[in-house]
């Protein structure tokens, strides 16, 4: 039987912060293997409530009214200012990066020339022989599974692994205007023809028990930068189906998107995917930023 460890504490407090109802949280914990009483006690403690009081019918009625009101007027995502600098040209550590497009809802920015053609070629050559089939996070267990909705191969680089990787990490952190220490290591992905990554969120959905394992260190993911390392002959765009945005893969260019605001709300409009590659292949490099220092 699971215990309420640091990862579950993080899961409990992030769900309370985003306005989940106590009942839905108890249900999720019971599904994950907790005894109902233990789940209720943990949830009510996180809400700052006494479980004995919660069992009182008057309290239960008040809580039900509150839950119904919350459902009728769900808290919509509040767009606050993204950290990325304003302007058409951004000095990012050692390079000037051009801004090609900005979208406010969801917060998406397309950049040109984040990496030079030589830097893209170097990243691909370093990675070509070290690729492994990509995985996705199983929402129930938090474990990495190889599944059909992500047909690519990948490799991770440790942050600051050598001087070249460190320069990339610093440039990207400067462009995203977020501490380099909050970044996960760079990930390189390769898709062959027909390869795709079906629409998903890069944040760990707080209502899925498996997410707690991933947010225990560094907290939630807040923003992503996907950098294209080659021109894709046909297809392979990064798509945002809820927003109707499609970004073409152009060597050295990148797409930034931000999904967590200062109130820790998460933006569902950032649902995104990698469209099927219809001709040639596709190489990308991804940086995910966390709320706090990671690793
Ligand atoms: O390959 C892409 O364009 C893509 C799209 C969405 C990559 C990712 N997400 C990702 O690695 O999270
Ligand atoms: Zn993604």
* Domains of the chain by start residue, with CATH: 6-72 (no CATH), 89-290 (2.60.120.620)
**Start-to-end Cα distance in the chain:** 28
Asked if residue 274 has its Cβ within 6 Å of ligand 1, the reply is yes
- Give the distance (Å) from ligand 1 centre to CA of residue 133: 15
Output the residue whose Cα is nearest ligand 1's atom 1.
274
Nearest CA to ligand 1 atom 7: 274
State the pLDDT at residue 114. Answer: 98
Do strands 197-200 and 187-191 pair parallel, antiparallel, or not at all (unpaired)?
unpaired
Per-residue pLDDT at 39: 74
Q: How far is the CA of 257 from the centre of ligand 2 (A)?
A: 10
259 lines ligand 1 (CB under 6 A): no
**Computed over its alpha carbons, how large is the radius of gyration of the chain?**
21
Q: Which residues surround ligand 2, an ion (CB under 5 A)?
A: 202
Question: Residue 204 has which token pair?
Answer: 């760990």
Residue from 274, 277, 283 to probe ligand 1 pocket by mutation (most atoms less than 8 Å from CB): 274
Strands 282-290 and 187-191: antiparallel
Closest-CA residue, ligand 1 atom 11, reads 286
273 Cα: distance to centroid of ligand 2 (angstroms): 6
Is the CB–ligand 1 distance for residue 286 below 6 Å? yes
The ranges of the chain with pLDDT < 70 are 5-7, 10-21, 26, 47-74, 135-138, 140, 142-149
Closest protein CA for atom 6 of ligand 1: 273
Protein residue with least CA distance to atom 2, ligand 1: 274
Rounded to the nearest angstrom, the distance between the alpha carbon of 108 and the centre of ligand 2 is 13
Nearest CA to ligand 1 atom 12: 202
Identify each DSSP E strand in the chain by its residue range.
Answer: 89-92, 95-103, 107-112, 132-133, 136-137, 144-145, 153-156, 187-191, 197-200, 221-228, 234-235, 238-240, 245-247, 254-258, 272-274, 277-279, 282-290
197 Cβ inside 6 Å of ligand 1: yes
**47 in Cβ contact with 80 (< 8 Å):** no
Q: What is the pLDDT of residue 12?
A: 67
Cis peptide before 106 (omega within 30 of 0): yes
Output the pLDDT for position 50.
46
C-alpha 254 to ligand 1 mean position (Å): 11
Query: What local confidence, expressed as pLDDT, does residue 36 receive?
Result: 73
Exposed / middle / buried, residue 195 (Cβ in 10 Å: 0-12, 13-18, 19+): buried
Cα 39 to chain centroid, rounded = 27
Question: Which pLDDT value is given to residue 147?
Answer: 53
């Amino acid at each position: 039987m699971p215990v309420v460890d640091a990862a579950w504490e993080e899961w409990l407090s992030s769900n309370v912060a985003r306005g989940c109802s106590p009942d839905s949280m108890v249900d999720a914990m019971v599904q994950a293997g907790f005894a109902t009483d233990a789940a209720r006690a943990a949830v009510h403690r996180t809400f700052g409530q006494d479980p004995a009081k919660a069992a009182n019918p008057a309290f239960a009625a008040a809580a039900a009214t509150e839950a119904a009101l919350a459902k009728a007027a769900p808290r919509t995502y509040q767009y606050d200012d993204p950290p990325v600098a304003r302007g058409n040209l951004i000095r990012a550590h050692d390079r000037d990066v051009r801004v090609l497009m900005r979208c406010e809802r969801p917060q998406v920015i397309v950049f040109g020339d984040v990496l030079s053609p030589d830097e893209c070629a170097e990243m691909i050559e370093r990675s070509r022989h070290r690729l492994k089939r990509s995985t996705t996070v199983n929402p129930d267990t938090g474990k990495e599974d190889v599944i059909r909705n992500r047909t690519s191969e990948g490799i991770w680089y440790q942050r600051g692994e050598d001087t070249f990787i460190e320069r990339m990490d610093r440039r990207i952190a400067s462009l995203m205007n977020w501490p380099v220490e909050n970044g996960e290591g760079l990930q390189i992905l390769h898709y062959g023809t027909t390869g795709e990554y079906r629409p998903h969120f890069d944040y760990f959905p707080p209502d899925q028990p498996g997410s707690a394992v991933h947010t225990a260190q560094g907290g939630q993911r807040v923003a992503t930068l996907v950098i294209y390392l080659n021109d894709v002959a046909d297809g392979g765009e990064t798509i945002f189906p809820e927003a109707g945005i499609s970004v073409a893969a152009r060597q050295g260019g990148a797409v930034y998107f931000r999904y967590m605001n200062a109130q820790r709300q998460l933006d569902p409009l950032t649902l995104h995917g990698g469209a099927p590659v219809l001709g040639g292949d596709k190489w990308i490099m991804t940086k995910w930023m966390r709320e706090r220092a990671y690793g």
